[in-house]
Structure 1
Amino acid sequence: MKHINYCLMALLFSGLLSCQTASEKEAKDPEMEKAQTIYTEAIAIHDEVMPRMDEIMRLKRKLRAQKDSLSQQGADTYAARIDSIELLITKLEKADDAMMQWMRSIKQLPAELSDEEHDLQTQSDTSQNRVPVQQLIEEQEAQKEAIVEVKAMMEESIAKAKTYLQQ
């Protein structure tokens, strides 16, 4: 009887050790880790350039003040400079809008579920409701590419505005 109890205990213990929840399996899935890495890289780029939004706002205010000053001095005389300022302001606004759009549209990776939530989802899920990991990777890559473009827009518009204001 003792032998059977020990065998049952050993079997139960080994069964518990070998069981993994779906979230643990996903966390160890190299494809899911790849998606997480890409997402983390995109967020790092965002975190790098987001503080520059204040700089964009300051530059727009300075450019608008200069444009207003030139307009008061004579719009006809300074028409070319006013046009240049308006173009710079437009580029700064487009960079600002691109950042806001990126932040509104970012898709996070699915959160890890508790065992109970996973069991409920697994019972109600069909293959149509699940997002394939490859699709998650593609979405994260697209989001990363988008924030790289936003960063380039921001850096270019800031540099051009600063150069103009230093003349």
Structure 2
Amino acid sequence: MKYFSFLLALVLFTACGDKSISSEAELEAMEASRVAQESAYENMVAAHDRIMPKMGEVTAAQRAIKEQLEDENLPEDRVTLLEAAYEQLEDANDGMMEWMQDMKPLAELRESMDNDAITAHIRDESSEIAGVEANISTAVAMAKELVGDHSGHVHGAGEDHGHNH
């Protein structure tokens, strides 16, 4: 059996001539591309994973703002600030939900895109999730400045929020 495998390999190698070298180089390049895609994709998902725990803070801050807005004796300028902070939190939350909805598994990208398109897509999505992270951090910081840190007062803070990995 060893000899048969050796002969088959020898016949294929001779029949292909220099093409086998090219094919081997192409295979190595394809594998390098796959590894680079996987690394970039993992980095993008890591950014997502850093943000998910902050979603509980977003919810807690929104509840704290709503509680304060129930006070009928709030000065109008305070109401305006609280409403703006609430809207900023809502926008940050929406940005995360939209990003997650648009995110596709790497295997699915590979079925429908070539290497350059996958690389560009991951780069764009990585940039977008970085913007989402910045928006969430800014919105939570603004809300905490206005109403304090109420993340411990909200049931479910830091929970999964129905998201599946």
In 2, Cα distance between the equivalents of 1:85 and 1:49? 23
- Equivalent positions of 1:1-167 (< 5 A) are 7-12=3-8, 25=27, 29-69=31-71, 72-73=72-73, 78-110=75-107, 131-166=113-148
The answer on whether the counterparts of 1:42 and 1:144 sit within 8 Å (CA) in structure 2 is yes
Is the alpha carbon distance of 1:54 and 1:73 closer, same or farther for their aligned partners in structure 2, counting shifts above 3 Å?
same
Gaps of 5+ in 2: 12-19, 21-26, 149-165
Gaps of 5+ in 1: 19-24, 114-128
Task: Calculate the TM-score normalised by the size of structure 1.
Answer: 0.70
Instruction: Give how far 1:131 is off.
Output: 1.9
Q: Tell me which amino acid in the other structure corresponds to 2:96.
A: M
Larger radius of gyration: 1
Task: Calculate the TM-score normalised by the size of structure 2.
Answer: 0.71
Q: Tell me which amino acid in the other structure corresponds to 1:8.
A: F
SS in 2 for 1:110: helix
In 1, Cα distance between the equivalents of 2:28 and 2:51? 31
Instruction: Give how far 1:147 is off.
Output: 0.5
In 2, Cα distance between the equivalents of 1:100 and 1:130? 23
Q: Give the CA RMSD over aligned residues.
A: 2.9
Q: Tell me which amino acid in the other structure corresponds to 2:6.
A: A
Instruction: Give how far 1:152 is off.
Output: 0.1
Instruction: Give how far 1:154 is off.
Output: 0.3
Instruction: Give how far 1:10 is off.
Output: 2.5
SS in 1 for 2:106: coil
Is the alpha carbon distance of 1:9 and 1:97 closer, same or farther for their aligned partners in structure 2, counting shifts above 3 Å?
closer
Q: Tell me which amino acid in the other structure corresponds to 1:68.
A: E
Output one character per residue of 1:138-166: Cα deviation in whole Å (capped at 9) or x when no partner. 00111111110000000000001101114
The alignment-based identity, stated in percent, is: 25
In 2, Cα distance between the equivalents of 1:96 and 1:39? 22
